[in-house]
């Protein structure tokens, strides 16, 4: 279920909720006092389940490949039977959708969209060099909008922000293609460009929204420090081990990207609350597989 990754999905919800509130109410001054805790809890549990279900099906569809390339994983190792995994994955997706409908119909429909996109990626998208990165990034973009959907009236204004995960996750997906056999230099160079675009967007959102760049800046700096060194190291060596480290750093750093969004739309302190998920994700990343 990739627990470390599931924490990053919760960060998407926390950031999306902040974006939705500000765009719906046209102010961030009373966000802390009016934080919708019920919606935050339901959508956080929803995305936790949706992400878990998506990666369980990823392992199900990858079983023939994993028997050769990743024999240490639970399914090829025989620790879990295939039908057990199918029931777990399907159950998690259903639970995630039900929890989202507990917020409102828009959230429920967005959860269905996340589920469909995840299954399409697991079965088909990941094997396509162009569609795969776009498919995966749409999953994360929809997950961010799942947080926004707590305030449905904000969705028409917030869809532009789905470009951030579109660029960022496409970059990570390009990097990840070298996890087993080694990296492709062109892919890694494109990922450097993608990461740089994400930084520029995070610093330029003030031209489009009520977004405080100074609140976001510390998290943008932390994000850059977290993702660029391992990526540049992988670009130098092109070795599979360094590629995996770059992918792992990129996935976990999603929390810092979300923290920058949350801080820019609300307050620096709310950004800190989102960033506080980072140590937990790092710790879980040492105990469980991330990629």
How high is the pLDDT of residue 185?
A: 86
**Could you read off the pLDDT of 181-204 as tens digits, one per residue?**
666 888 899 999 999 999 999 999
Task: Give the pLDDT of residue 178.
Answer: 65
pLDDT confidence band for 180 (50 / 70 / 90): low
Tell me, yes or no, whether 288 lies in a domain. no
Sign of CA dihedral 65, 70, 73, 77: positive
Residue 160 domain-assigned (yes or no): yes
* Overall average pLDDT of the 230-258 stretch: 92
Specify if 286 maps to a domain.
no
Which residues contact residue 249 at a Cβ distance below 8 angstroms, ignoring those fewer than 6 apart?
226, 227, 230, 231
* Residue 290 maps to a domain: no
Asked if residue 287 belongs to a domain, the reply is no
Predicted TM-score (pTM) of this structure: 0.91
In a domain, 291, yes or no: no
What does the pLDDT average to over 53-73?
A: 91
Q: Write down the mean pLDDT value for the chain.
A: 91
Q: 189 lies in a domain? A: yes
Band (179; pLDDT cuts 50, 70, 90): low
| Tokens, residue 131 | 């569609």
For residue 16, give both structure tokens: 């999306």
With respect to residue 182, please indicate whether it lies within any of the assigned structural domains: yes
Q: Domain range spanning residue 130?
A: 3-281
Q: How many domains does the chain have?
A: 1
Q: Is the separation of the CB atoms in 138 and 179 below 8 Å?
A: no
């Amino acid at each position: 279920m990739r627990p470390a990754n599931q924490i990053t999905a919760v960060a998407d919800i926390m950031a999306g909720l902040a974006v939705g509130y500000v765009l719906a109410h046209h102010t961030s001054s009373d966000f802390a006092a009016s934080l919708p805790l019920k919606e935050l809890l339901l959508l956080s549990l929803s995305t936790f389940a949706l992400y878990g279900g998506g990666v369980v099906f990823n392992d199900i569809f990858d079983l023939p490949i994993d028997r050769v390339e990743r024999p240490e994983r639970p399914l090829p190792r025989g620790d879990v039977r295939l039908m057990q995994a199918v029931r777990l994955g399907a159950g998690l997706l259903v639970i995630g959708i039900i929890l989202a409908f507990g917020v409102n119909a828009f959230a429920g429909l967005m959860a269905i969209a996340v589920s469909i996109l995840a299954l399409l990626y697991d079965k088909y998208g990941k094997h396509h060099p162009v569609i795969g990165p776009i498919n995966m990034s749409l999953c994360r973009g929809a997950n961010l909008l799942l947080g926004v959907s707590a305030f449905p009236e904000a969705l028409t204004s917030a869809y532009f922000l789905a470009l951030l995960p579109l660029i960022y996750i496409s970059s990570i997906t390009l990097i990840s293609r070298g996890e087993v056999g080694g990296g492709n230099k062109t892919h890694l160079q494109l990922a450097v460009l993608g990461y740089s675009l994400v930084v520029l967007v995070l610093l330029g959102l003030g031209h489009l929204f009520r977004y405080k760049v100074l609140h976001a800046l510390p998290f943008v700096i932390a994000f850059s420090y977290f993702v660029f060194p391992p990526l540049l190291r992988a670009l130098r060596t092109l070795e599979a081990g360094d590629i995996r480290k770059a992918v792992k750093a990129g996935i976990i750093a999603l929390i810092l990207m979300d923290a920058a969004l949350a801080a820019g739309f609300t307050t620096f302190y709310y950004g800190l609350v989102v960033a506080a998920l980072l140590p937990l994700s790092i710790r879980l990343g040492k105990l469980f597989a991330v990629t």
